[in-house]
Amino acid sequence: MFALCDCNNFFVSCERVFRPDLRDKPVVVLSGNDGCVVARSNEVKQLGIKMGVPFYQIKPLAEKYGIVHFSSNFPLYGDLSSRIMRTLARHTPYLEQYSIDEAFLDLSHLPDTSSMHALCVRLRADILKGIGLPVSFGIAPTKTLCKVAADYAKHYAGYRGVCAMDTPDKRIIALKDYPVEDVWGIGRRSTAKLQAAGITTALQFAEHSETFARNLLNQPGVNTWRELNGEACIETTDLPEKQTITCSRTFAHPVTDLNLLEQALAEFCDNVARKLRSQHSVCRQMLVFVHTSRFNDDVRFIQQTITFAIPTANTQEMTAALLRTVCGQWRPETPYKRAGVILMSIESDNGVQQALFDTRDRERDQRLQQALDLINNRHGKRTVGFTPNIPTDKAAGLYNIGAKSPAYTTRLQDIITLKC
Percent of the chain at pLDDT > 70 equals: 95
Beta strands in 215-258 (DSSP E): 245-255
Q: Are 52 and 91 part of one and the same domain?
A: no
CATH number reported for the structural domain that contains residue 314 in this entry: 3.30.1490.100
Q: Which of 62, 7, 8, 64 is nearest to 30 (CA)?
A: 62
Residue 51 lies in a domain: yes
Cα–Cα separations (whole angstroms), residue 70 to 38, 54, 80, 365: 10, 14, 17, 39
Cα–Cα separations (whole angstroms), residue 245 to 121, 274, 387: 38, 10, 21
Q: Are 286 and 298 part of one and the same domain?
A: yes
Q: How far apart are CA 228 and CA 243, in angstroms?
A: 28
Q: Are 296 and 181 part of one and the same domain?
A: no
> Domain boundary at 74, 96, 123, which?
74
Q: Are 58 and 89 part of one and the same domain?
A: no
Report pLDDT digits (tens) over 21-77. 999 999 999 987 778 899 999 999 999 999 999 998 999 999 999 999 998 888 889
Q: Are 215 and 95 part of one and the same domain?
A: yes
Q: Are 249 and 231 part of one and the same domain?
A: no
**For the chain, how many structural domains are there in total?**
3
Q: Which domain holds residue 360?
A: 245-389
pLDDT at 398 over 80: no
Percent of the chain at pLDDT > 90 equals: 56
Contact call for residues 187 and 163 (beta carbons, < 8 A): no
Q: Are 51 and 178 part of one and the same domain?
A: no
CATH number reported for the structural domain that contains residue 26 in this entry: 3.40.1170.60
Q: Are 63 and 108 part of one and the same domain?
A: no
In one-letter notation, the amino acid at residue 377 is N
Q: Are 214 and 282 part of one and the same domain?
A: no
Residue 396 lies in a domain: no
pLDDT of residue 239: 53
Residue 415 lies in a domain: no
3-class secondary-structure state, position 302: strand
* φ/ψ (deg, to 5) at 135: -130, 160
Q: How far apart are CA 154 and CA 10, in angstroms?
A: 12
Averaged pLDDT, 130-156: 95
Residue 139 lies in a domain: yes
What H or E segment, with its residue span, contains residue 190? helix 188-196
Residue 395 lies in a domain: no
pLDDT at 178 over 80: yes
Q: Are 46 and 144 part of one and the same domain?
A: no
Q: Which residues contact 243 (CB under 8 A, 6 or more apart)?
A: 344, 346
Please report the sign of the dihedral spanned by the C-alpha atoms of residue 13, residue 19, residue 20, residue 22.
negative
Report pLDDT digits (tens) over 61-118. 999 999 999 988 888 898 899 999 999 999 999 999 888 999 999 998 999 999 999 9
CATH number reported for the structural domain that contains residue 123 in this entry: 3.30.70.270
Please, where are the H alpha helices in 90-161? 113-130, 143-155
Report pLDDT digits (tens) over 211-265. 999 999 888 889 999 999 999 987 765 555 567 898 888 887 888 888 888 888 9
Comparing 109-113, 170-174, 297-301, 315-319, which segment has the lowest mean pLDDT?
A: 297-301
Q: Are 92 and 232 part of one and the same domain?
A: yes
Q: Are 193 and 254 part of one and the same domain?
A: no
Residue 205 lies in a domain: yes
Averaged pLDDT, 382-387: 78
Residue 189 lies in a domain: yes
Residue 411 lies in a domain: no
In one-letter notation, the amino acid at residue 132 is G
